[in-house]
Amino acid sequence: MGPRAAPLGVGDALTYGEANDSRTTNVMQRIKQTPRADWPQRLDDIGFRFHSIDKNGVAQPPDASRFPYWLEDAAYVFGEAEIEALWTATQELHARCLEAVDYVIRANLFARMAIPPAYEGLIRASWERRDPSVYGRFDLTLDPNGVPKLYEYNADTPTSLIESSLAQWFWKTDVQPAHDQFNSIHEALIERWGGLRKHYPQVPTLHFGCIFDSLEDIGNVEYLMETAVQAGWQVKILDMTRIGVDAASRFYDEQDEPIQLMFKLYPWEWMIRERFGRHLISSPTRWVEPPWKMILSNKAILPVLWQLFPDHPNLLPASFTPYLFDGVPHAKKPFLSREGANVTLVQDDGQVIEHEGRYGEEGFIYQAFAPLPRFGERYATLGSWVVGDEPVGLCLREEFHPITKNTSYFVPHYFIKS
C-alpha cells in the first residue's frame, strides 16, 4: 500500500487532467471530504466489516485518520452528463458482450480461449438454456474527452459489492444529501433474485458458497444472501471446500441436502480444475454465475470483441499477438488472472510496469494502453455494475500505481444534477 495522506478538509478539488497536463472536457473531480466521526461503526452496522483490511486481507483496528481500504477523506464527483455516458456505455458493452458469447459458441472458439474441451458442452448447454446471470462489473477508464473505455469485464466473481451498494449510498446520504449517486444496486439485486425465484420455481433452497478464510468474500456473500432473502429465497451458506458429490455427480451440502442451485464466489476456472471438476459436466446442479460466463470472465474475450466490433468507441484495440503493438504503448494481460496479477504495462514514455503473480499458463492478450484518470499521485479505475441486463451503479478504486489491485482503496462518489 502507498503512503497515507494527511487528514483533508472539504472544498479542495483536483480535476482529471490537472496533474497530467492534458486538456480535457471531462469534469470528473476528486474532492476532499470530512470523514464521519463514527464511520467504522456506521460501516459495521450494515455488515461491511472488512473496511479496514490491509494488503494481506487482515482487518486492522479502525483509525479515524487512516484508511487502509475504505477511504472517506475524499470523494469522486461527476456531472450528470458523465453519469449518463457511463450508463449508456455500460448498456452498450453488455449487449456486445452477449453477442460475443454467442459468436464464440457458434464459431467453436473454446480452444482459442484455453477452455478445456471437456467443458464445451456444459457451456453450450448453459447458453442455450439461457441460464440467468445475476451480476457483473465492467472495469473502465475515461479517455481525455470523457469517453468510457473497457479494460476488462469481471463477469464471474466481481467483488466490492457491499461497498458499492450500501456503504457508499449511506455515506452519500450522510455527507452529501443534496446530491445524487449512480447506485440502484441493492434494489436491482433484490429484483433479480426475484426473477431467479420464478425461473427456478421448484428449487427450495438457494445455496451460497465461498472460501471462509476470506473476510472479504464472506462479507460479499452474506450481503448477497440478504438480498436473496428479501426476494423470498430460503438460503444456506457453506464453505466451497465442504461441498460433497456422489457417484451420480449430485452435489450436497454438509447436511446432505442436495444443492440444486448455488451462487458461488469462486471462479469457474478454479472449479473445472478441482478434483470434483469432472462432475460439473453431468451434474443437475445449476450455478450462479452460470457456466457460459466462463467466456466473458476470460480476457481472451477482448480480442474477440475488437474483431467483432472494430473501432467501437468503448473498446480498446486488442489482439492475441503482440505484433499490432510493436513500439507502441500497450498492456499484456493473462487470459485468466485476478487483482492485476501478471499484468504488464508499456506506457507512453516507454516505462514498463509489471505486477507479479502466478497466472499466464493459458496465454496472454495484448491491449492498447489507455491511461487511467490521474489525480495527483492517485490513479482511479471506474467499475460499472450490471445486474441482469441493466446498468445499476458505479464504484471507484484508487491506487498509487497504474495497475489496480485487490487492496486498492475504495472511494465513494456522487454526482451533481444539471
Query: Cβ(17)–Cβ(26) under 8 Å?
Result: yes
Q: What residues are paired with 287 via a beta bridge?
A: 262
Question: Which residue type is seen at 74?
Answer: A
* pLDDT computed for residue 14 by the predictor: 62
* pLDDT computed for residue 283 by the predictor: 97
* pTM of the shown model: 0.92
Radius of gyration of the CA atoms of the chain, in A:
21
Task: Evaluate the CA torsion angle 164, 166, 171, 172 in order and state its sign.
Answer: positive
Query: Cβ(143)–Cβ(394) under 8 Å?
Result: no
Q: Which residues of the chain have pLDDT under 70?
A: 1-26, 64-65, 339-340, 360
* pLDDT computed for residue 197 by the predictor: 97
Write out the chain in H/E/C secondary structure. Answer: CCCCCCCCCCCCEEECCCCCCCCCCCCCEEEECCCCCCHHHHHHHCCCCCCCECCCCCECCCECCECCCECCCEEEEEEHHHHHHHHHHHHHHHHHHHHHHHHHHHCCCCHHHCCCHHHHHHHHHHHHHCCCCCEEEEEEEECCCCCEEEEEEECCCCCCHHHHHHHHHHHHHHHCCCCECCECHHHHHHHHHHHHHHHCCCCCEEEEEECCCCHHHHHHHHHHHHHHHHCCCEEEEEEHHHCEECCCCCEECCCCCECCEEEECCCHHHHCCCCCHHHHCCCCCEEECCCCHHHHCCCCHHHHHHHHCCCCCCCCCEECCCHHHCCCCEEEEECCCCCCCCCEEECCCCCEEECCCCCCCCCEEEEECCCCCEECCEEEEEEEEEECCEEEEEEEEEECCCCCCCCCEEECEEEECC
* pLDDT computed for residue 340 by the predictor: 66
CA distances to 220, 253, 272, 276, 277 from 242, in Å: 19, 7, 16, 12, 14
* pLDDT computed for residue 57 by the predictor: 72
Residue 236: which of 203, 218, 209 has the closest Cα? Answer: 209
* pLDDT computed for residue 349 by the predictor: 78
Residue 129: which of 200, 235, 208, 201 has the closest Cα? Answer: 200
> How many residues are recorded in the chain?
418
pLDDT tens digits for 305-358?
A: 999 999 999 999 999 999 989 889 999 999 997 766 788 888 887 788 877 777
CA distances to 121, 205, 269, 283 from 252, in Å: 23, 12, 21, 11
CA 409 to chain centre: 14
Cell of 413: 462518489
CA distances to 18, 24, 116, 336, 408 from 373, in Å: 10, 11, 37, 25, 15
Cβ-based burial of 228 (10 A; exposed 0-12, middle 13-18, buried ≥19): buried
* pLDDT computed for residue 5 by the predictor: 28
